[in-house]
Amino acid sequence: MTQLADSGIGDLRQTVEGPVLGPDDDGYDDARRLWNANQDLHPAVIARCRSAADVSRAVLFARDHGLEIAVRGGAHSISGMSSVDGGLMIDLSELNEVTVDPEARRARAAGGALLGQLDAAAQEHGLATPAGMVSHTGVAGLTLGGGMGWLSRKFGLSIDNLLSVEVVTADGSILRASDDENPDLFWAVRGGGGNFGVVTEFEFRLHEVAPMIQFGLMFWELDKGAEVLRTAREVIAKLPPEVNMVVGAISAPPAPFVAEEYHFRPGYALIIPSFGSADEHAAVMAEIRSALPPLFEFATPMPYVALQQMLDEANGWGFHSYDKGFYLDDFTDEAIAVITEHVPLKQSPGSAMLLYRLDNAYSAVPDDATAFSGSRAPGYAGFIIAVCPTPELLERDREWARAFWAATVPVGRGIGSYVNAISDIDVDDRVRASYGAKYDRLAAIKATYDPENIFHRNANIKPA
């Protein structure tokens, strides 16, 4: 890695339209800041690109100067891969336009757009596409790994609704990829992460989603964990596709609908949004309540965009974070035993375990249709998330997350996981296990578009 002289930064400033920041420039410290406060990196230069042409020039500049490249979209990479010490950060935050064609039901989101921007633009027309559950997440990072959220049972993953992308590859080329143009690249970016270039535009299919949805939350004490999971197992097996359910081990929020005596109490929650009728939603809530009365519950109509923002504050900027991911086929008795043993050991109120149900539209897509790092068989994607106010508390809950994850391996689908939930991205066997038989195909495509592994700050796929 070379040191970048002021003259080199000056050359880049003359080349790209957007601002270029070095360590001595005003705004540098704010620009280098990441969502995960535990990641404190210092790029030699930050290029705030405003176009695909800017990105292309920045990539070529980094190559000419021997600079390691990091790509920042929403800056939500828990592992800190959206920045780099001593290299070039390609910052897409100013490349963030979202446009919607309501007649064609299509949305175009630039590479630096956030989920909240995409949600808001589509909802102006009563439309949406599957996306994540925290609205200040970047569209790019979420989508390139797969993209799962509240709409995944009904409409699949984000990548299942992706129609085309614009990509800047390692040689500076600006390519379009779709089913009929560079189809190998299009297959690879749908789940293969940022390994193949910098995606500067996404084109999504949109679906009708009413501006108001039904929402429910039910909460139980820690000692009810096994009963909650068994109840969820029975109810989820019969859920209509219009209803989703996330099973969470969380601390009760300090919300107005929660009695103050329960604020921050650890326990188990079922979070139940519905995109269908109020009666259908009420029937699901009633079945759960009859089987296992909760400590407290809350149900209300809610704007879809509010659902998408519901977890924003709990996952705000400035926390120290770490996560581990796993897949489960079902809440077997063995899996329930592992979960209920480890959940009570977390120490930070912000730390949590979430289980997303994946079936219906998610499972209608063939395994080999995309590069997604997981089986399309019905099951659960699990997330063990340490979210802590201090580095000291993170040290303890990081170990909690690692021990919890290790215990899931024998009762789940092995060591593979959703690549967007791999904090330890330098552990090559995790990446290979996550992609399984797809890894060799991805490695061959990587050799075509990035033979020198220029884009390696990710869940890295080595060129064949």
What is residue 205's three-state secondary structure? strand
Reference 92, options 79, 77, 114, 111; nearest CA is 111
CA–CA dist 62, 319 (Å, integer): 31
CA–CA dist 218, 209 (Å, integer): 24
Positions of CATH 3.30.43.10 in the chain:
6-91
Q: What is the pLDDT of residue 429?
A: 85
Going by pLDDT thresholds of 50, 70 and 90, the confidence category of residue 1 is: very low
Q: What is the rounded average pLDDT of the residues 102-124?
A: 98
Reference 186, options 204, 202, 171, 164; nearest CA is 164
Positions of CATH 3.40.462.20 in the chain:
212-421
What is the per-residue pLDDT across 8-22, written as a single tens digit (0 to 9) for each?
A: 899 999 999 999 999
Going by pLDDT thresholds of 50, 70 and 90, the confidence category of residue 2 is: very low
* Tokens describing residue 231: 């109840």
Q: Domain 98-209+436-449 belongs to what topology?
A: 3.30.465
Cross-strand bridge partners of residue 101: 106
* Tokens describing residue 206: 């949109």
Is 435 a residue whose pLDDT tops 60? yes
CA–CA dist 400, 352 (Å, integer): 11
Instruction: Say which range, 1-15, 384-398, 417-431, has the weakest mean pLDDT.
Output: 1-15
Q: What is the pLDDT of residue 333?
A: 97
Is 455 a residue whose pLDDT tops 90? yes
Residues in the chain: 464
Q: Which amino acid is at 125?
A: H
Angle 152-158-159 from CA coordinates, rounded to 5°: 125
What's the mean pLDDT when you consider all of the chain?
Answer: 96
Pairing of strands 266-274, 212-221: antiparallel
Q: What is the rounded average pLDDT of the residues 289-306?
A: 98
CA–CA dist 273, 25 (Å, integer): 46
Q: What is the pLDDT of residue 309?
A: 98
CA–CA dist 190, 419 (Å, integer): 12
Going by pLDDT thresholds of 50, 70 and 90, the confidence category of residue 4 is: low
Positions of CATH 3.30.465.10 in the chain:
98-209+436-449
pTM reported for the whole predicted model = 0.96
Task: Mention every residue, 6+ apart, whose C-beta is less than 8 A from residue 410.
Answer: 334
Task: Mention every residue, 6+ apart, whose C-beta is less than 8 A from residue 134.
Answer: 76, 115, 311, 312, 315
C-alpha separations of 249 from 264, 294, 346, 413, 425 in Å = 12, 14, 10, 20, 25
How is domain 212-421 classified at the architecture level of CATH?
Answer: 3-Layer(aba) Sandwich (3.40)
C-alpha separations of 293 from 174, 224, 303, 344, 456 in Å = 57, 10, 27, 21, 49
CA–CA dist 140, 134 (Å, integer): 14
Task: Mention every residue, 6+ apart, whose C-beta is less than 8 A from residue 239.
Answer: 153, 245, 284, 357
Contact 20, 13 (CB under 8 A): yes
Task: Mention every residue, 6+ apart, whose C-beta is less than 8 A from residue 369.
Answer: none
DSSP code string of 64-104: HTT--EEEESSS--TT-TT--SSSEEEE-TT---EEEETTT
How is domain 6-91 classified at the architecture level of CATH?
Answer: 2-Layer Sandwich (3.30)
What is the per-residue pLDDT across 410-429, written as a single tens digit (0 to 9) for each?
A: 999 998 899 999 888 666 68
Q: What is the pLDDT of residue 459?
A: 94
Q: What is the pLDDT of residue 8?
A: 81
Q: What is the rounded average pLDDT of the residues 330-335?
A: 98
CA–CA dist 117, 97 (Å, integer): 8
**Helix H or strand E segment including 199:** strand 198-205
Contact 174, 168 (CB under 8 A): yes
